[in-house]
Structure 1
């Protein structure tokens, strides 16, 4: 199965164009974004590969422009991470999902992996990648399923450190339709 989706920010300039392929070998995400964060323009591409259970295996991010940067992370799907040189990253121990700050897509990873029912919630430790600064750190988050219907669902996302929370409307594939005040889906095709 294949999906294509496009998101635009609520207030700032930008766009994300994402392609997702799911087959018997896993789940493959390829996305390109241009945007602005706190007045700083950025262009970034990222690729994420997951197994059939939506556990992240690899994450590659390329920040393009005058000062290009690249990040490549790999997981054993059990919470152990290494960098491109196969050197362990102990501070990311226990993280299963990744959360890239400038995209609504990475919310799909725990939503699909956890498959929560209405009223259920789960606390997570994720690899948080802040862009365009390219800061990587573990972050505690909580997802709560508020409702599920034939049209999709509604989930509450919470950052347990900052106290930020948002209610995310998702489609039947768990892809964000609306991330209030930040992102909204402008186009999709399956």
Structure 2
């Protein structure tokens, strides 16, 4: 078994839950993580991530499961191209309907070509993934006000639908970065290596 030099643990603040990631960032990022959450229904989400040395995503594998269902998605990126494969067991739609939630989208991407411009992935509810553009774009050392608009391959949890999402990251200085997507905005507090300490409305790390 490989030895990972770092362990990061976040407590969810929007629902009962947590996210624990083991990471190796000596050359790009290698990470394995487990996220638990009580909403929109109780689930466990396991992920494995690998980037290139410049922190552009190379591969992401995610498994989400709960009572009576399991979904998996694998994303592999080459320049200008994403390959997305999925599998599903049980009926997440029935579980969500029973919990009073709308039926979810199918796992995976309806049209992977729409992801072509994305260099990053973003896994719903997992603060680790905000570090990818922060490190890739050098936002920790960038002058305050530096702004980058980018397309990411966003993996919705727990459905594991994959969609192209437009996001903006703005350096604020002092270990802070503003993140926005559509009408949502959050001011992230980062440590000296670019990992999230405080994500308002989502998670905190001690």
Give the TM-score, by structure 1 length.
0.87
Preserved CA contact (<8 Å) 1:37 1:132:
no
**Secondary structure, counterpart of 1:131 in structure 2:** coil
User: In the alignment, what sits opposite 2:63?
Assistant: 62
**Secondary structure, counterpart of 2:35 in structure 1:** strand
Preserved CA contact (<8 Å) 2:177 2:187:
yes
Give 1:22 shift: 2.3
The RMSD of aligned alpha carbons is 1.9
Query: Residue 95 of structure 1: which of 106, 109, 118 is its match?
Result: 118
Where structure 2 has 5 or more consecutive residues not aligned to the other structure, the ranges are 87-110
CA distance in 2, matches of 1:36, 1:166: 22
Preserved CA contact (<8 Å) 2:71 2:159:
no
User: In the alignment, what sits opposite 1:46?
Assistant: 47
User: In the alignment, what sits opposite 2:29?
Assistant: 27
> Runs of at least 4 residues of structure 1 off by over 3 A?
none
Preserved CA contact (<8 Å) 1:166 1:179:
yes
Query: Residue 127 of structure 1: which of 146, 149, 153 is its match?
Result: 153
Equivalent pairs counted in the alignment come to 176
Larger radius of gyration: 2
User: In the alignment, what sits opposite 2:93?
Assistant: none
CA distance in 2, matches of 1:71, 1:11: 25
Give 1:2 shift: 2.3
Give 1:37 shift: 2.4
Query: Residue 72 of structure 1: which of 52, 60, 74 is its match?
Result: 74
1:131-142 equivalence runs, <5 A: 131-142=157-168
**Aligned CA distance change for structure 1 residues 84 and 135 (closer, same or farther; 3 Å):** closer
CA distance in 1, matches of 2:80, 2:185: 24
**Secondary structure, counterpart of 1:37 in structure 2:** coil
Query: Residue 146 of structure 1: which of 172, 176, 180 is its match?
Result: 172
Give 1:45 shift: 0.3
**Secondary structure, counterpart of 1:68 in structure 2:** strand
Give the TM-score, by structure 2 length.
0.80
**Secondary structure, counterpart of 2:25 in structure 1:** strand
Q: Which has the higher strand share?
A: 1
